[in-house]
Amino acid sequence: AQSVAQPEDQVNVAEGNPLTVKCTYSVSGNPYLFWYVQYPNRGLQFLLKYITGDNLVKGSYGFEAEFNKSQTSFHLKKPSALVSDSALYFCAVRGAYSGAGSYQLTFGKGTKLSVIP
Amino acid sequence: EAQVTQNPRYLITVTGKKLTVTCSQNMNHEYMSWYRQDPGLGLRQIYYSMNVEVTDKGDVPEGYKVSRKEKRNFPLILESPSPNQTSLYFCASSLKAQVSSYNSPLHFGNGTRLTVT
């Protein structure tokens, strides 16, 4: 069974500092990895994805994520945090294609990011 | 505007009173899914649908029903709600559950906050 772990329930960072939100995964075969962001009273919004190729993936709002196969990690990063980045972040994984049933996304429990002015 | 629309946004009901949460998407997506979000548990999948008239159980289907009579609509039905179904519910959709669109992200609605007393 596939799984995602987000080891930190909350991350606090000062505005202007770099931020990292951690994610590790477990799947069969090559993973399809996603990051989503949830602002208060809103649904989840897609940020970025890793499918194959370059290990550093760039996404929306200046976010990027680094895929590390040996460590089975897909950490979300941003060079300079903004107060408006404060939100709940979810990592998700889909395992290698093995039929329509393998399409399901498994989500982590989420990490609350607070950017302090 | 491409979107997933859920109604209602907020719902308070009593134990045993049947209710339906509607979900509609205007992107001609084949795949649709329902999740519930609970603190400390992240997102858990309730039911999903690969296409019209094709539905299947997710991780936490007990106490829920779904139907997919048309491509755009995927209502969630609680025949006899109980307090443990108090939660935040999200509907999501994506292109197709097949290998050619395996890297497609999910598009989420804004959520329905359900309270069962």
Q: What is the pLDDT of residues B2-61, one digit of tens each?
A: 899 999 999 999 999 999 999 999 999 999 999 999 988 989 999 999 889 999 999 899
Contacts of A46 in chain B (CB under 8 A): 105-107
Determine the average pLDDT of the residues in A31-53: 91
The predicted pLDDT at position B100 comes to 63
What is the three-class DSSP state of B61? coil
- A45–chain B nearest CA distance, Å: 7
pLDDT at A67: 96
Measured between beta carbons, the chain A residues lying within 8 angstroms of B110 are 41-43
- Single-letter code of the amino acid located at A78: K
| Contact residues, chain B, for A101 at CB < 8 Å | 56
For residue range A70-83, list pLDDT tens digits in order. 999 999 999 999 99
pLDDT at A101 over 80: no
Q: Which of A41, A45, A110 sits opposite B42 (nearest CB)?
A: A110
Whether B63 has a pLDDT exceeding 70, the answer reads: yes
Please report the number of interchain residue pairs, chain A to chain B, with beta-carbon separation below 8 angstroms.
Answer: 58
Could B42 and A90 be called an inter-chain contact, meaning their C-beta atoms sit closer than 8 Å?
A: yes
Query: Which one, of B38, B36, B24, lies nearest residue B93 by Cα?
Result: B24
- Calculate mean pLDDT across residues B63-86: 97
Q: What is the mean pLDDT of residues A100-104?
A: 68
Mean pLDDT of A34-51: 92
Residue A84 — very low, low, confident or very high, per pLDDT cuts 50/70/90? very high
Contact B41 A109 (CB under 8 A): yes
Chain A: residue whose CA lies nearest to B95: A103
* Closest CA in chain B for residue A88: B42
- Inter-chain CB proximity B42 and A103 less than 8 Å: no
Q: Which residue has the higher pLDDT, B105 or A83?
A: A83
pLDDT band at A29 (very low <50, low <70, confident <90, very high): confident
Higher pLDDT, A30 or B82: B82
Angstrom distances, CA of residue B116 to CA of B2, B77, B80: 31, 14, 10
Query: If pLDDT is split at 50, 70 and 90, which confidence band does A58 have?
Result: very high
